[in-house]
Amino acid sequence: MLQGKWITLGVSGGIAAYKAADLASKLTAQGAAVHVILTAAAARFVGPVTFAGVTGHFVHQDMFANSPDCAIPHIDLASRADLLVIAPATANVLAKLAAGLADDLLSATALAATCPVLVCPAMNAAMYQHPAVQKNLQVLESYGYHILEPASGRMACGTVGKGRLPETSVILEKIYQLLTPQGNLSGLKVLVTAGGTREPIDPVRYISNRSSGKMGYALARAAAQRGARVTLVTTPTALEPPPGVEVVRVETAQQMLEAVMAVYDRVEVVIKAAAVADYRPARMAEQKIKKSDAMLVLELVKNPDILGQLGQHKRPGVTLVGFAAETADLLQNAADKLRRKNLDLIVANDVTVPGAGFGSDTNVVKLLYADGSVKDVPRLDKLELAHLIWDEVLRLRGK
């Protein structure tokens, strides 16, 4: 996702510095070149050897030390960076940045930076709420810095409140937003569905499928990153919804149908990535069905065909994309679904292929179009695939 990007990561002296090591590792795994600046206080929490080990790059600490990759460290670390991230940013560092001080390598680099700057405050809750800290954050925002608000919860000091460094996944999401191409979906109203529906048998049991929701969430995330106005209709999953996305939570196929139809008239693109159960129990038992020696027979009835109804009532100017998860005859079954449901594009995958099954972080797909053409897509991370699908949607819409 971040291949070829130079990220300068400033780490200041708070207990949350340990999370910065995880952030540096994950950024490196995404292809970024991560160059770490440790303040003297930060090095007392996590040493330079840790950051060098996870990034493969020299770790900078002293403004005047020789560096193998920077002739003038505070200038090169600023001018060569695509993004400067300061995580954690302590109250002391915030004050320095707001005042324009340059008395160490991190503050001097920040002052010289012309790239976007992402500041991730982390401190005791009372410190974070102090008027001086809040004023400094306002000053930094006026400079054009991007501020990622801290999370709430229990902190190392034992207090509970707002001041925790957000989880690595949240920081990564903000970094993706700042570094991925923006704007080519700007203002586009899109609807994405995700997850597997749950069809109740009794108050404690249900019929469902193996969908994790990862592909749908990736599609919603990618669209939001590119400026779209996204509605995500989702069944229960273990995933955090992407920031900036309107989330509608449902469980059953009927609930999903109602949620989709409620917004369908005001969207321009629909991507149905949810795995909707084809059948549901004809009746839900009011009480838990107790186990007995007798066989249990469930009568199943067909669920509404959400994608079929969308295709049947397709409006001019609407782009409709579906998914086909198959175990055999992939192209034949996907092409038939594309035709029957009046789709513009269908994303087909054989879930028996390694790296393409439910719950996987990657996918291997074929894209089938209404004109009969087919495009093979190799194994990709689901967020990468999501961006590729949005590129195809734009092409279909003549953008």
How distant is the alpha carbon of residue 133 from its chain centre? 29
Active site residue 70: no
3-state secondary structure of 225: helix
Rounded CA-CA distance 330/190 in Å is: 27
79 φ, ψ (degrees, to nearest 5):
-75, -25
Rounded CA-CA distance 280/297 in Å is: 13
In 3D space, the residue among 202, 289, 298, 213 whose CA is nearest the CA of residue 250 turns out to be 213
Instruction: Say which of 70, 115, 120, 157 is annotated catalytic.
Output: 157
3-state secondary structure of 95: helix
88 φ, ψ (degrees, to nearest 5):
-80, 155
How distant is the alpha carbon of residue 73 from its chain centre? 32
Q: Which amino acid is at 21?
A: A
Q: Which amino acid is at 6?
A: W
Rounded CA-CA distance 40/44 in Å is: 7
Q: Are the beta carbons of 383 and 3 closer than 8 angstroms?
A: no
Q: Are the beta carbons of 28 and 54 closer than 8 angstroms?
A: yes
Helix ranges (H only) for the chain are 17-29, 48-55, 73-79, 91-99, 105-112, 125-129, 131-142, 168-179, 214-225, 253-264, 306-312, 330-340, 382-396
In 3D space, the residue among 117, 252, 134 whose CA is nearest the CA of residue 174 turns out to be 117
Instruction: Give catalytic residues, as residue numbers.
Output: 157
